[in-house]
Chains A and B, each alone.
Chain A
């Protein structure tokens, strides 16, 4: 429980931090020259608590996590009815799971109709969550700290060098580093592609232009399935990095408040 007065204090700190922390590196208020005639300040024993994520972002994040679990589990149930990709009779597209069923624990719906109904019922909240998130980012200007832009390419390269231990210091960053921007931009695109390929498979005749865009019904279904594995891989890396690089970010995504190594504003 954060007391109201504690929040006010934290807000004040947050403002200070955001001011002198612009592009200045991972640590808050790091390397600031000591004011003359003052004794050298001891390193802070406790980092300041700052507001990192708006409640809309947090709600969208966790709603999305739950919805993705349901969408994927019901999707694997649907897959079971025809575990191939390509016109009936083949040849079928390359697929490690061709002809295979997924274990019961990974499926939702019990049978094809159950899986379909779950999938179609969760699809609208999934789309809605994405739209709410997008509108919030645009309205608040938060998209600036998330969108990967051409100027982020060299920064992402430096970040990669740092992770490969070919560069010693952590490159300066804002709320997110360039690799994070790439990841968060990519995952939004992936979510959009899942929705679009989903519609292409759902209404291949009425939306035949969309289905044609993905190479036809069979390929749209194939890409829709591929998106699942990219989502799963993303989630594994995402969760691993939370614990390996910035455990404080977990609290920030739950309560909104962050006491960690990185700046919370660009």
Chain B
């Protein structure tokens, strides 16, 4: 019988973990010195999510399934959100061959994608709405990213809110620069004049009030991502 020493050591370790876990539960603890470990685990989940997931098309719903607009929340950092600059245009740059400034009219001239899908918020709520816009892939062909471009960074005029994206998710056929919601021009609540939309990401990744779209070699963080939310945010 050689298993006794193992079991005792194991049990001691487990006891310590259990004790720590219940103590942590008791204080509403965020992790303290364990936070780097938690972030590391979150990063590992991102890698698994990026590497192993198949990006099929998100299920679509009939327009009759839409959530009432009053029940469809739209969060922002600033209250109120600053008015849109009359000279507004989306600046597309970074590691690209042809940097461009795109107006909503120019985007409306690109191929149009429209779908009624479920929106998943990290908070746990879900809502159904119809989004219309230009596929991000069509913007890729306009600006021609260079081989060094590995990530995207989206900036806004909403108090410094920003997001980093992986290119695989950005090239998903349902990832769009949306200018319309439920068949009408985007309202301020939902990110007018232009927002990022995709049914394969959690809501906080779907940057509203866009100003800039930058191709980068390094992974850009994000407003919430830098505060602890999962970076990938894929659903």
Which residues from chain A sit less than 8 Å from chain B, CB to CB? 2, 4, 7-8, 11, 51, 54-55, 58-59, 62-63, 65-67, 69-70, 73, 77-79, 81-82, 84, 87-89, 104-114, 116-118, 120-121, 124, 202-206, 208, 217-218, 221, 254-256
Which single member of A67, A88, A111 contacts B127 (CB below 8 Å)? A88
**Number of contact residues on B: which range applies?**
35 or more
Residue interface mask B120-145, A partner, CB < 8 A = 1: 11111111100000000000000000
**CB-contact partner of A112 in B6, B38, B123, B234, under 8 A:** B123
- B7/A255 in contact, CB under 8 A: yes
| Complex interface: chain A residues within 8 A of B7 (CB) | 55, 58-59, 255-256
Top 6 closest A-B pairs, CB basis? A89-B71, A113-B228, A66-B18, A121-B41, A81-B123, A82-B124
* Interface: B64 (CB within 8 A): no
- A109: B residues at CB distance < 8 A: 28-31
- Of listed B11, B42, B70, B124, residue having the most chain A CB within 10 A: B124
Q: A116 to B229, Cβ gap below 8 A?
A: yes
Query: At the interface with chain A, which of B19-27, B84-92, B105-113, B207-215?
Result: B19-27
Query: What residues on B are CB-neighbors of A256 within 8 Å?
Result: 3-4, 7
> B: which residues have CB within 8 A of A?
1, 3-4, 6-7, 10-11, 14-15, 17-18, 21-22, 24-31, 37-39, 41-42, 45, 49, 53-56, 58-59, 67-68, 70-73, 118, 120-128, 199-200, 224, 227-230, 234-235
- Complex Cα spacing A73 to B22, Å: 9
Contacts of A120 in B (CB 8 A): 41-42, 45, 230
A54: shortest Cβ distance to chain B, in Å? 7
Q: Which residues of chain A are near B4, meaning CB under 8 Å?
A: 2, 7, 55, 255-256
Distance in Å from the Cβ of B221 to the closest Cβ of chain A?
13
Q: A62 → chain B, closest Cβ, in Å?
A: 4
CA distance A8 to B70 in the complex (A): 74
Given that A7-B1, A69-B22, A113-B228 are contacting pairs, would A217 and B42 also be in contact in the complex, using a CB cutoff of 8 Å?
no
Give A15 Cβ to nearest chain B Cβ, in Å.
13
Question: In the bound complex, do residue B24 and residue A55 qualify as a contact, i.e. CB atoms below 8 Å apart?
Answer: no
CB distance from B34 to the nearest CB of A (A): 9
A69 near B18 with CB under 8 A, answer: yes
Beyond A117-B38, A121-B41, A254-B11, 14 additional contacts (C-beta under 8 Å) are A2-B4, A78-B124, A88-B71, A104-B27, A107-B28, A111-B30, A116-B229, A117-B39, A120-B41, A121-B37, A124-B41, A202-B235, A208-B59, A255-B4
A10 CA to B31 CA, complexed, in Å: 44
> What residues of A have a CB within 8 angstroms of the CB of B227 in the complex?
113
Report how far A203 CA is from B232 CA in the complex, Å.
Answer: 12
The reply to whether B21 and A82 form a contact with Cβ atoms under 8 Å apart is no
Contact B200 A206 (CB under 8 A): yes
Cβ contact within 8 Å between A114 and B31: yes
